[in-house]
Structure formats: structure tokens, C-alpha cells
DNA sequence: AAAAATATTGTACTGATGGACAGAAATAGG
DNA sequence: CCTATTTCTGTCCATCAGTACAATATTTTT
């Protein structure tokens, strides 16, 4: 996994070097050829076409974090909507940058807490009204499964591959398959697709 | 700063011990007397009164993370609304738990990425409608597809295999694959599982 | 104590899946 | 008339998913 910092002139700020000694500077023109899926690319909003660049890189499977000199909620939402996984002030300290990297490379999303509070506060009421009557509906197929099987079933229901489930639960892929076979038999479904449908019919799914 | 795990019986799962050797198990009755401002308390939703407990602990200045066996958006928002700083799957690995701790003890908020995407996606659309800068107006991903692609997408979302879709639409399996490839690219998903999730999440988002 | 359930991992196989190259015909808009 | 879009199809190949045989260790139940 490589680190790239994309600016207009390919300069590498001292702060970034301190946080990631192995990071490489790059420019908008060449980053799309050099970056590969799984890499972490930091894109400055001083790059003229940072939005298109973010979108394309995200589609490539690249983890993108946007660096802005003047962070604001609207730009942050735009960045995340385009597939960016983080939005940080360009002048963030090395410590913060390292933490951001840790979070986004582990399937997390980094976003300023003021924005998050604002968004969650506003959304909660509308969303809870909508789901109130549905959420506590009875028959739960998950009760038929063992604790470990539940973990596997929930991960699969979120769209994870066997390999991903194995990594998440810290077991081998073979064990995941074993659990899945048991799950399929217990819930009488033929594959993971039907499992998703069966589970999503009774509950809303989210992940960690 | 102390770590506490609150369950009904005060048990301490092996996974938690691995993540935090110094963590202490506790029960709802005594945690309010023992925890102090700045402490990190993990509360399982199996605790009957986890909501009141979360609220009271948060008001005390305690950092609270909620652990749920069956995470869902509504519960997550409720947890955060009550002052919780994180919402994680009970079966999260030690690595994930450690990362959550790192984030929440550093003024961060931990929330599932699907929920975040939903909330951000919803807010972004509302926001851009208001400012009228970004058009797209495509609330439904199906609008991005051609008629034939829509048929394939819907069949797949119902859990059909390629062979079944082919029979239903009276085309060859190869053609189904071609449509699917186009669908994956247009909707920026990696496989049929993610397609199912994407389509089912739009329906839920219809209200905002 | 014995039996059952649970959790884990192994190899080998078949069928399904998705991408990499494609090409060909029909239709609609300029 | 030309071009772009849509629809349909082909082969090859690497990877994934699920099963068929397993076996072993731990925990729980009887």
C-alpha cells in the first residue's frame, strides 16, 4: 500500500513527510497512472480538478482523503459524496494525519465532528419517525444461529466476501465457509444472496 | 482513564480482554458509581436500560460506546443522540475495538460507514437542492440505467443468478453478464451483492 | 462420563461470477 | 448520412463460492 500526496506542483510539505516518510509527491496528471487499488491518496483542493480526480480514484478502489485549506461543511459533503473517505485541514498536524490514515485504511471514514453532530442531529428525528413501527418486528432468523454464525451472517449480509469476513473475524476463509454452510442449512437458503434477502426482510443492517 | 465493559452479568468477552487487558467488567447497577469523567465505558445493548444508562453516563462526562449484536441505523442514531460517542458491533475484532477507543478518546465519533454514507448522501442532496448548484436530482440509481439494464438489476436485486435472469428475460447468460458489467460500472459497485445493497438503500432513503 | 454442539482448519472439486479482449445489428438524434 | 446508444452475443481466463469428503479441540448438555 503506497501513500501519495497530490498537489499542483508535486511538492511535498514537511508536515506530510514527517507523518509518512514513505509518501510520494505526485501531480493530478500522473497519479491516475501510478496509484493502484488499495493505495492511499491525499488530494489537495488546490488541485483544479480535485472533484473529478477524487471520483475517478475512488472508482479505482483507491482510498482518497481530501485536504482543504479552508474546510467547510458543504465541501466536505461534496468530497465524501464523490467517494472520498476523509476530509482534513491541509495544515493538520502529523499526528492527526497519521490517525486519519489509520481510520480510512481500515474501512473508516474521517469527518470533522462538528459536521457529524450537525448532520446526525438533524437527521435523527426524521429517520427515527420513519423506522419506528418497523424496527421491532418479531421473527428474527438470527436467533436460530450461534454467536459465531451470527457474526458471519451479518458480515455477509452487509455484502462482504468470504475473504473479508475472514479478516474481520480473524479466522481463515475455510472456517467462514464452514459457518456459511451451516447458516444456509439452518435458514434454508441456497446462497449468500438469498441470505441477504432473508435477513434484510426483518431488520435493517449496518456495519461497524 | 479507565476502561469498563457493561453487560448484564458483568462478563468480559475474550475479545475485549485481548483488546484492552486493563479493562474491567461491570454491571448497570454499579457502573454509575464507579465510572468517572474521562473514563471510557462500553455498554452492550443487551443491558435492559442501556439508553438511560448511556444518557446519564454521557452527562457525567464519561465517554460511552454502545455495543450491539444487531446494529441498525435507528439504534445507532438513538445511541449517538443520547450522547454516545460510538456505536460498534459486539463481535467487532480486537483491532477494531482498539481503533474505536483511539478515535473516541480523541474527540472523535465512531459510526458505521453505511449509516454515515446514508446520512451524508441524504444531507448532501438536500443541501445541494437548496443551493441549486448541483443538479443530478437522481434520487434513484435505477434512473442511471437503460431499460434493459434496469430489468437485469431488479432481477439480480431479488437474488436471481445469471442463469435465472437469462431465462426470465429470454436472453443468453452472456448478455446478462454484459448488462451487469455496465451496471457495475455505472453504479460504481464491485459485484451483485453491493448492487443489492445499493438498490435497497435507495428505497429506504426515499423519504429524505 | 458420555454425547452433542460448537469452532476451527485442511484438500479437492464443480459451477458461478466478472473482466478482457472482443464483434454485430438496430435505433435514434444530429 | 453519420454517430452514438442500446441490445445482444462470442471465447478465454482468473477468481470466488459452495460442497464433499474430511479431522481436531473445546465447551455445553444430558
Does pLDDT of B41 surpass 90? yes
Q: Could you say which nucleotides of strand C lie within 7 A of any protein CB atom?
A: 5-11, 16-20, 22-23
Statement to judge: residues B105 and B9 lie in one domain: yes
Is A126 inside a domain boundary? Answer: no
Question: Cell triple for residue A92?
Answer: 493538520
Alpha carbon of B144: minimum distance to chain A alpha carbons (Å): 16
Q: Contacts of residue B78 in chain A, CB cutoff 8 Å?
A: 124, 128
Secondary structure of B138-159 in HEC code, one letter for each residue: CCCHHHHCCHHHHHHHHHHHCC
Query: Which of A1-10, B9-18, B140-149 is most confident?
Result: A1-10
Q: How far apart are CA B14 and CA B8, in angstroms?
A: 16
Report the pLDDT value the prediction gives residue B187, as an integer from 0 to 100: 82
Per-residue confidence (pLDDT) for residue A6, from 0 to 100: 92
Q: Do B119 and A121 touch (CB under 8 A)?
A: no
More confident residue, B105 or B53: B53
What is the predicted pLDDT for the residue at A164?
A: 85
Instruction: Please give the residue range of the domain that contains residue A12.
Output: 3-112
Residue with cell 480486537: B94
Among candidate residues A71, A96, A112, the one where a domain is terminated? A112
Residues A76 and A146 grouped into a single domain: no
Indicate yes or no: CB of B70 within 8 angstroms of CB of A142: yes
| Statement to judge: residues A161 and A60 lie in one domain | no
Q: A109 vs B116: CB contact, 8 Å cut-off? A: yes
Interval B168-196 mean pLDDT: 87
pLDDT at B92 over 90: no
pLDDT score recorded for residue B126: 40
Cα–Cα dist B2/B37, whole Å: 10
Report if CB B158 to strand D is under 7 Å.
no
A149 lies in the same domain as A88: no
B103 pLDDT above the threshold of 80: no
Same domain for B24 and B49, yes or no, is yes
Listed range (B34-38, B75-79, B91-95, B177-181) with the worst mean pLDDT = B91-95
Q: How confident is the model at residue A103 (pLDDT cuts 50, 70, 90)?
A: low
pLDDT exceeds cutoff 80 at A118: no
When mean pLDDT is compared across A58-72, B66-80, B109-123, the lowest value belongs to B109-123
Let me know whether A106 and A146 are in one domain.
no
**DSSP state string for A40-85:** EEEEETTSTTHHHHHHHHHHTT-EEEEEESS--HHHHHHHHHTT-S
What confidence score (pLDDT) does residue A197 get?
A: 81
CB A83 within 8 A of CB A64: yes
Beta bridge partners of residue B43, listed in sequence order: B6, B66
Contact predicate A35/A6, CB 8 Å: no
Q: Answer whether residue A53 shows pLDDT above 50.
A: yes
In a domain, A131, yes or no: no
**DSSP secondary structure letter of residue B48:** T
CA distance B176 to B154: 12
A65 and A147 inside one domain: no
Q: Is the pLDDT of residue A13 over 70?
A: yes
pLDDT at A135 over 60: no
Asked if residue A103 and residue A31 are part of one domain, the reply reads yes
Highest mean pLDDT pick, A55-69, B69-83, B119-133:
A55-69
Residue B51 has pLDDT above 90, yes or no: no
Over residues A26-41, the pLDDT tens digits come to: 888 888 878 876 789 9
Residue whose C-alpha is closest to residue A31's, from A12, A54, A1? A54
At residue B132, the pLDDT reads: 29
**Mean pLDDT, range B77-89, rounded to an integer:** 79
For B156, nearest residue in chain A (alpha carbons)? A193
- CA–CA min distance A189, chain B (Å): 11
Q: Identify the three-state secondary structure at position B202.
A: helix
Find the CB nearest A124 among B81, B131, B194: B81
Q: Kindly state whether residues B105 and B170 are assigned to the same domain.
A: no
Phi and psi at residue A205, to the nearest 5°: -105, 145
Element (H, E) at B179: helix B173-187
Q: How far is B161 from chain A (nearest CA, A)?
A: 9
CB B97 within 8 A of CB B16: yes
Nearest CA in chain A to B128: A74
Q: Is the pLDDT of residue B114 over 70?
A: no
Could you give the CA distance from residue A64 to residue A79 in angstroms, rounded to a whole number? 9
Q: What are phi and psi of A146, to 5 degrees?
A: -75, 170
Do residues A15 and A94 lie in contact, with contact meaning Cβ atoms separated by under 8 Å? yes
Which of A76, A78, A70, A79 is CA-nearest to residue A41? A79
CATH code of residue A71: 3.40.50.2300
Q: Which of B92, B118, B124 to mutate to test the interface with A (most CBs of A within 10 A)?
A: B124
A108 pLDDT above the threshold of 80:
no
Domain's final residue, options A92, A112, A132? A112
The spacing between the Cα labelled CA in A93 and the C1' in D26, in angstroms, equals: 48
Contact present, B80 and B58 (Cβ < 8 Å): no
Segment A178-205 mean pLDDT: 79
B144 touches strand D (CB under 7 A): no
Q: What is the mean pLDDT of residues A151-157?
A: 85
A121-142: average pLDDT: 41
Number of domains into which chain A is organized: 2
Cell of B145: 440505467
How many CB atoms sit inside 10 A of residue B153's CB?
27
Task: Judge whether B100 and B65 are in contact, CB under 8 Å.
Answer: yes
- Could you tell me what percent of chain A has a pLDDT over 90? 9
> Which nucleotide across the nucleic acid strands is nearest to A181, CA versus C1'?
D18
pLDDT for res A113: 53
pLDDT of amino acid A48: 83
Tell me, what's the pLDDT at A177? 92
Residue A208 inside a domain? The answer is no
3-state secondary structure of B97: helix
Domain final position from A112, A129, A158: A112
Q: Note whether residue A117 is domain-resident.
A: no
My answer on whether B106 and B30 are in the same domain is: yes
Q: In this structure, are A104 and A161 located in the same domain?
A: no
Q: Are residues A19 and A65 both part of a single domain? A: yes
Q: Report the CATH number at residue A182.
A: 1.10.10.10
Amino acid at each position: 500500500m503506497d501513500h501519495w500526496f497530490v498537489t499542483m506542483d508535486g511538492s511535498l510539505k514537511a508536515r506530510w513527510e514527517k507523518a509518512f516518510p514513505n509518501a510520494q509527491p505526485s501531480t493530478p496528471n500522473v497519479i491516475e497512472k501510478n496509484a493502484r487499488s488499495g493505495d492511499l491518496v491525499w488530494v489537495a483542493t488546490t488541485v483544479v480538478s480535485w472533484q473529478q480526480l477524487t471520483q475517478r480514484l475512488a472508482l479505482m478502489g483507491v482510498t482518497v482523503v481530501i485536504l482543504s485549506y479552508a474546510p467547510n461543511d458543504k465541501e466536505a459533503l461534496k468530497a465524501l459524496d464523490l467517494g472520498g473517505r476523509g476530509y482534513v485541514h491541509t495544515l493538520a498536524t502529523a499526528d492527526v494525519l497519521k490517525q486519519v490514515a489509520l481510520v480510512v485504511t481500515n474501512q473508516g471514514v474521517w469527518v470533522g465532528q462538528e459536521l457529524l453532530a450537525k448532520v446526525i442531529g438533524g437527521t435523527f428525528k426524521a429517520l427515527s419517525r420513519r423506522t419506528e413501527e418497523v424496527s421491532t418486528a418479531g421473527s428474527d432468523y438470527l436467533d436460530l444461529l450461534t454467536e459465531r454464525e451470527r457474526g458471519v451472517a451479518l458480515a455477509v449480509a452487509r455484502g462482504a466476501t468470504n475473504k473479508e469476513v475472514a479478516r474481520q473475524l480473524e479466522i481463515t476463509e475455510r472456517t467462514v465457509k464452514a459457518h456459511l454452510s451451516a447458516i444456509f442449512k439452518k435458514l434454508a437458503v441456497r446462497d449468500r444472496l438469498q441470505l441477504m434477502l432473508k435477513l434484510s426482510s426483518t431488520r435493517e443492517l449496518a456495519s461497524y
